[in-house]
Structure 1
Amino acid sequence: MKALNILIIGFVWPEPTTTAAGQRMLELIHFFLKQDCNITFASTAKKNTFSYPLDSLGVAQKEISLNDSGFDLYLSDNKKDIVIFDRYLTEEQFGWRVAENNPEALRILDTEDLHSLRNTRENAFKKGVPFTIENWKNNSVTKREIASIYRSDVSLIISSYEMQLLTKELNINNSLLHHLPFLLKAKKVKKIPFEEREEFICIGNGNHAPNKDAVIWLKKEIWPLIRKQLPEAMISIYGGHLPEQILQMHNPNQGFLVKGWAPSAIEVMRKARVNLAPLRFGAGLKGKLITALQANTPSVTTAIGAEGFSTKHLELNGTIAETAKTIAAAAVELYSSKEAWNKAQEKGEKLLKKLSNKEKTEKEFFKKIEETIQNLQEHRSSNFIGAMLQQHTMASTKYMSKWIEAKNKKIE
């Protein structure tokens, strides 16, 4: 296959040192660079100090605007073989423009995680009601996200649970989906033994609602239970973009240390004895748990935190618990018992070995791309729902966007 020209439309500029989504995007960029692709990364977002220097990789960069027909002219003059939408929101904004101005391009949606699943769970949590599949199906965000999946030629799904949800609950054809977890490669990391490790750790980007809630729950309910049994224990909270509410929780007297952004997540993780990820809502495959596996650090998390792995892997590398009491008990046991800690670490090594199949995963992904490009018209013809939704989008979103653009010009 010839060298492909690829446009990635980012929801934000990649931040691999602060978010799992940023790590994921950088993995995709490296994958396509290995295939000798020419990549342009575009985004409507503003860059910040955590934004990755894409120019160092030879990736072209382009700032774009919402509701701007200039993007149409760019596509017309710079035809792409593949356009990748970073999350469904970018597909909503730019998908119809790509379909209209560069119809021959393969349209790939990288869902990151199912935002509708996370949104439904967060709403249920805030209302104090159980999450149900029916509530997820009835959520307007779900309808929008699933519409984006149908309008796209291929959607990348990071979580095995979410693949099952889409295929079994919504009967979405497998031809429209591709399971693409993190691209992990086996590598040796020098082990730090139980005796040389200190503290608990909790890590996560502060802009991500599940992470913020996890730290609040940890501080208010879980940590006091741990300190009651381990009065000298300390925990370090790491993460970029931590809100003021989290920063104010810093209290050395309580052993609760809010340290903020860490340049290397794996380095701080490998020095900790136990990783705590008490996630009460969320979706996807958790980067913090992958980092813990790579650092040989046992974790305590919830079923939601671990669901991205297949069911048989849930209890490997630590403990799954759901209440403040059981999470604290599991944390204390792993922190205090060298035997329990070593067993968890050994299981984690086995799990990481199973997950470290980067070459196979990349080969399967490239095969999916090749086959879909070669049979693109047939592929689209078999996706009638997608064609119907694309037609609806052309008739509604398109003209709304043009109206907003015209209104903005008039104001100027």
Structure 2
Amino acid sequence: MGKKLLVIGFVWPEPRSSAAGSRMMQLIEAFQLNDYDITFATACAKSDKAFNLEAIGVSQVAIELNSSSFDAFVKEMNPDVVLFDRFMTEEQFGWRVSEQCPDALRILDTEDLHCLRKGRYQALKDNAEFNKTYLFNDVAKREIASIYRCDISLIISEAEMEFLKNDFKVDESLLLYLPFMLDELKDHEIDNLPKFQSRRHFVTIGNFLHEPNYNAVLYLKQNIWPFIRSQVSDVQMHVYGAYASLKVNQLHNSKEGFIINGFAESASTILKQARLCLAPLQFGAGLKGKLIDAMQNGTPCVTTTIGSEGMFGELKSNGFIEDKPEEFSKKAIALYQDENLWEEKQRNGFDVINSRFRKSYYQNVFLERVELVIKNLYKKRINNFTGQMLYHHTLQSTKFMSKWIEEKNRS
């Protein structure tokens, strides 16, 4: 009989809407390779964009926050492995898992370092240089505590591995670098992609529930697009993304060629039609799904240092990395107009996908680490005194606050 995996999701996975949704599907696929019986549970309401997990053999369960009904559920299931989707989920349910299933391996998928994203955002708002004062925020205290309470934490970016090891002094034995796990691009797939002359216009794409995406589109409209449009008058900037709010839609201006299109049914179709992707991200963390999608579909990209973080390693980028709006705009125009340069950057993107995000390699790394830690779980936890301490103190407050809320809801 196969091992049992319980995934406690922050939200239902929406791979067409966000990189986080794609990431979750990649993790589920990896566990299915080792014949895990998988249950996905979340307290979040399901949207019409949620992936139907039952179609791939994954059980779907709705759970409640601050309810002892979860205790009975998880005890009866008795999973071998529990995967927490983001640190907030571990805070809410980790102590219950620990009490009811103490021998279950606890894995945290950080998605990205929330404390890094928040610190950078605050520094941007303060018009100040990002430093440890911004990094060591209240979210960091919660997030790093969650990492210590888990047996393995999945880190999507090499840059974030360095932050955790060097700035937060987290022992590397608690961490696993696990980027996006992607299929190799085959020669025939590359050959069938639309060529330079058959593509038109600029594109950017991203879920607007994610604040860095709205900020980037606003920055694009105010600081970059006017210059590009003044130099190349017949082009359009197409903006796609799920959950576009009123403030996003108000940026639409057809006379200026700045087009808000809303949700993209197929990001691949959109990117294959576009000649260039623009991603002027001013803050954020993790790996940027829009850059991955662009490279997979042969669409060169101009982005910022923040946008490129953890993406290219020692390889050349699939476009240009510029932080100053005028240089960003000039590089975008050059790349849009120069076919030879465009083809060179496109090839770079294919190399990055095939060299840095190999699905088969990272699936094996991940699954081997899981099995190794399962076999040595007692010893690993004994050596993680900080984690023991945090379970003893931190989660006592979380536990009793949750119990208080549950009693209050009954009255």
Q: How big is each residue's C-alpha offset from its partner over 1:220-269, in whole Å with a ceiling of 9 and x where there is no partner? A: 12100100100111111111111111112222211111111111111211
Q: How big is each residue's C-alpha offset from its partner over 1:187-215, in whole Å with a ceiling of 9 and x where there is no partner? A: 33322111111000010001100000011
Match of 1:256 in 2: 258
Match of 1:383 in 2: 384
Match of 2:278 in 1: 276
**Distance (Å, rounded) in 2 between the aligned partners of 1:79 and 1:168:** 36
**Distance (Å, rounded) in 2 between the aligned partners of 1:310 and 1:167:** 20
Q: When the two structures are aligned, how many residues end up with a matched partner?
A: 407
Match of 1:312 in 2: 314
| Alpha-carbon distance, 1:61 to partner | 1.1
| Alpha-carbon distance, 1:183 to partner | 0.5
Match of 1:207 in 2: 209
**Distance (Å, rounded) in 1 between the aligned partners of 2:269 and 2:132:** 38
The amino acid that maps onto 2:183 is K
**Distance (Å, rounded) in 1 between the aligned partners of 2:30 and 2:257:** 42
Match of 2:349 in 1: 348
**Distance (Å, rounded) in 2 between the aligned partners of 1:109 and 1:122:** 24
| Alpha-carbon distance, 1:331 to partner | 0.6
The amino acid that maps onto 1:369 is V
The amino acid that maps onto 2:199 is R
The amino acid that maps onto 2:306 is I
Secondary structure in 1 aligned to 2:75? helix
Match of 1:266 in 2: 268
Match of 1:368 in 2: 369
| Alpha-carbon distance, 1:408 to partner | 1.1
**Distance (Å, rounded) in 1 between the aligned partners of 2:215 and 2:87:** 24
- Confirm or deny: 8 A CA contact 1:160 1:310 kept in the other structure: no
Query: How high is the sequence identity, in percent, across the aligned residues?
Result: 45
The amino acid that maps onto 1:360 is Y
Match of 2:24 in 1: 25
Task: Compute the TM-score of the two structures, normalised by the length of structure 2.
Answer: 0.97
Match of 2:146 in 1: 148
- Confirm or deny: 8 A CA contact 2:30 2:367 kept in the other structure: no
Equivalent position to 2:175, from 174, 177, 181: 177
The amino acid that maps onto 2:122 is N
What does 1:5-404 correspond to in 2, within 5 Å? 5-137=4-136, 139-188=137-186, 189=189, 190-313=192-315, 315-404=316-405
- Confirm or deny: 8 A CA contact 2:155 2:178 kept in the other structure: yes
**Distance (Å, rounded) in 2 between the aligned partners of 1:299 and 1:187:** 18
Secondary structure in 2 aligned to 1:41? strand
The amino acid that maps onto 1:154 is I
Secondary structure in 2 aligned to 1:191? coil
- Confirm or deny: 8 A CA contact 2:302 2:328 kept in the other structure: yes
**Distance (Å, rounded) in 1 between the aligned partners of 2:295 and 2:73:** 43
| Alpha-carbon distance, 1:356 to partner | 4.1
Secondary structure in 2 aligned to 1:166? helix
- Confirm or deny: 8 A CA contact 1:286 1:308 kept in the other structure: no
**Distance (Å, rounded) in 2 between the aligned partners of 1:164 and 1:266:** 32
- Confirm or deny: 8 A CA contact 1:14 1:52 kept in the other structure: yes
Gaps of 5+ in 1: none
Cα distance change of structure 1 residues 358 and 311 upon mapping to structure 2, 3 Å threshold = closer
The amino acid that maps onto 1:77 is E
- Confirm or deny: 8 A CA contact 2:185 2:353 kept in the other structure: no
- Confirm or deny: 8 A CA contact 2:179 2:357 kept in the other structure: no
**Distance (Å, rounded) in 2 between the aligned partners of 1:70 and 1:356:** 39
Provide the alpha-carbon RMSD of the alignment.
Answer: 1.1
| Alpha-carbon distance, 1:393 to partner | 2.8
Indicate the larger mover: 380-389 or 325-334.
325-334
**Distance (Å, rounded) in 2 between the aligned partners of 1:56 and 1:344:** 38
| Alpha-carbon distance, 1:310 to partner | 4.8
**Distance (Å, rounded) in 1 between the aligned partners of 2:324 and 2:227:** 12
- Confirm or deny: 8 A CA contact 1:96 1:393 kept in the other structure: no
The amino acid that maps onto 1:167 is K
Secondary structure in 1 aligned to 2:314? helix
**Distance (Å, rounded) in 2 between the aligned partners of 1:145 and 1:199:** 40
The amino acid that maps onto 1:363 is N
- Confirm or deny: 8 A CA contact 1:44 1:65 kept in the other structure: yes
The amino acid that maps onto 2:257 is G
The amino acid that maps onto 1:255 is G
The amino acid that maps onto 1:173 is D
| Alpha-carbon distance, 1:357 to partner | 1.6
**Distance (Å, rounded) in 1 between the aligned partners of 2:399 and 2:19:** 32
| Alpha-carbon distance, 1:340 to partner | 1.6
- Confirm or deny: 8 A CA contact 2:122 2:134 kept in the other structure: no
Gaps of 5+ in 2: none
Secondary structure in 2 aligned to 1:334? helix
Secondary structure in 1 aligned to 2:173? helix
**Distance (Å, rounded) in 1 between the aligned partners of 2:178 and 2:350:** 21
**Distance (Å, rounded) in 1 between the aligned partners of 2:87 and 2:29:** 22
Secondary structure in 1 aligned to 2:265? coil
| Alpha-carbon distance, 1:32 to partner | 1.2
The amino acid that maps onto 2:279 is A
**Distance (Å, rounded) in 1 between the aligned partners of 2:30 and 2:220:** 37
**Distance (Å, rounded) in 2 between the aligned partners of 1:168 and 1:211:** 28
**Distance (Å, rounded) in 1 between the aligned partners of 2:253 and 2:98:** 53
**Distance (Å, rounded) in 1 between the aligned partners of 2:392 and 2:249:** 48
Task: Compute the TM-score of the two structures, normalised by the length of structure 1.
Answer: 0.97
**Distance (Å, rounded) in 2 between the aligned partners of 1:403 and 1:351:** 50
Match of 1:406 in 2: 407
